[in-house]
Amino acid sequence: MSKVPPIILNNGVEMPQLGFGVWQVPDAEAETAVATALEAGYRSIDTAAIYGNEKGTGRAVAASGIPREELFVTTKVWNSDHGYDATLRAFDTSLAKLGLDHVDLYLIHWPTPARDRYVDTYKAFEKLYADGRVRAIGVSNFLPEHLERLIGETSVVPAVNQIELHPHLQQHAAREYHAEQGIATEAWSPLGSGKGILEIPAIVAIAQKHGRTPAQVVLRWHLQLGNIVIPKSVTPSRIAENIDVFGFSLDAEDLAAISALNEDRRLGSHPAEFNAG
Ligand SMILES: NC(=O)c1ccc[n+]([C@@H]2O[C@H](COP(=O)([O-])OP(=O)(O)OC[C@H]3O[C@@H](n4cnc5c(N)ncnc54)[C@H](OP(=O)(O)O)[C@@H]3O)[C@@H](O)[C@H]2O)c1
């Protein structure tokens, strides 16, 4: 079984560098998918209130028998629950659905700038952190301008910013800003949602060279850059494949070939414009 190395967050908490994402996994299937991932060796699970599968995720965690301190559970507050009091209520709901007494990482899912409430939301996060109900707090889909404001108006620097990041959207400026501020970069849709990225000839060629799959090459690229990754799959063979990425390394030529694929092309929404919910 692969051993996933940790990233040390800015408050000293260890987070596995590779975890399991469950977006678009219906609650009824989440229990099986998460159980398969835990059996394959994953110890970090990334869910969110809006995914509607915190209950299934929690059931798999409870049934696994894995000691709680060996697991790292992330969930996220949804856009409609921004604001201090609403966030505290949303956290209680998430925790109850997960069946846990704390989460390891709580994220603001989107800055949703038109609401202009993410600072209040984050102040509720600081309370949850001070109360020991979350081991680390962070954000998702925050642009450097949102982070700058948050850091200026609150006291706990976010531990993580989870952003869309894959070979077509390499996020150089954001990664540089995070590094300067001590914020870990976590990549969502690390495989580009399994679409075009895995068929790019340069990636297929690198996979053939190493006797690996394109998905393994892309995950290895993230890991060697220092990104945290949370690939999603409901397919047992892919769940196993995606964690089997610690027995080989990409060389400088491979890394350069993947770096050359950046197109600044998003699959998801632009954080400056996404205010749904
Ligand atoms: N914070 C945010 O706003 C945000 C947004 C999007 C995602 N996320 C998080 O990031 C996680 C991952 O992102 P994602 O689900 O969008 O995309 P992803 O992990 O990049 O790709 C998942 C897709 O790729 C397929 N796949 C997985 N492993 C594969 C492999 N080895 N070979 C070929 N295809 C493979 C999966 O198919 P099967 O499942 O059919 O096997 C699925 O369709 C999410 O689950 C969620 O936790 C966060």
Cβ-contact 76, 49 below 8 angstroms: yes
Is the model's pLDDT at 182 over the cut of 70? yes
- Whether residue 267 has its Cβ less than 6 Å from ligand 1: no
The CA distances from residue 130 to 125, 135, 137, 164, 241, in Å, are: 9, 9, 10, 29, 38
How confident is the prediction for the chain on average, in pLDDT? 97
Cα–Cα distance measured from residue 121 to residue 83, given in angstroms and rounded to the nearest whole number: 5
Residues 6+ apart with CB under 8 A from 100: 58, 61, 68, 73
Cβ-contact 231, 219 below 8 angstroms: yes
| pLDDT tens, residue by residue, 203-234 | 999 999 999 999 999 999 999 999 999 999 99
First and final C-alpha spacing in the chain: 40
Confidence band of 195 (pLDDT split at 50, 70, 90): confident
* Phi and psi based region of residue 138 (left: phi greater than 0; alpha: psi -120 to 50; beta: remaining): beta
Determine if the pTM surpasses 0.85: yes
Is the model's pLDDT at 145 over the cut of 80? yes
| pLDDT tens, residue by residue, 63-105 | 999 999 999 999 999 999 999 999 999 999 999 999 999 999 9
pLDDT, position 3? 83
CATH hierarchy code of domain 6-194+225-233: 3.20.20.100
Q: How far is the CA of 120 from the centre of ligand 1 (A)?
A: 30
Confidence band of 154 (pLDDT split at 50, 70, 90): very high
pLDDT, position 45? 98
Q: What residue owns the CA closest to ligand 1's atom 33?
A: 194
Place of tokens 């390891």: 104
51 is an active site residue: yes
Counting from 1 in the atom list of ligand 1, the atom nearest the Cα of 107 is: 1
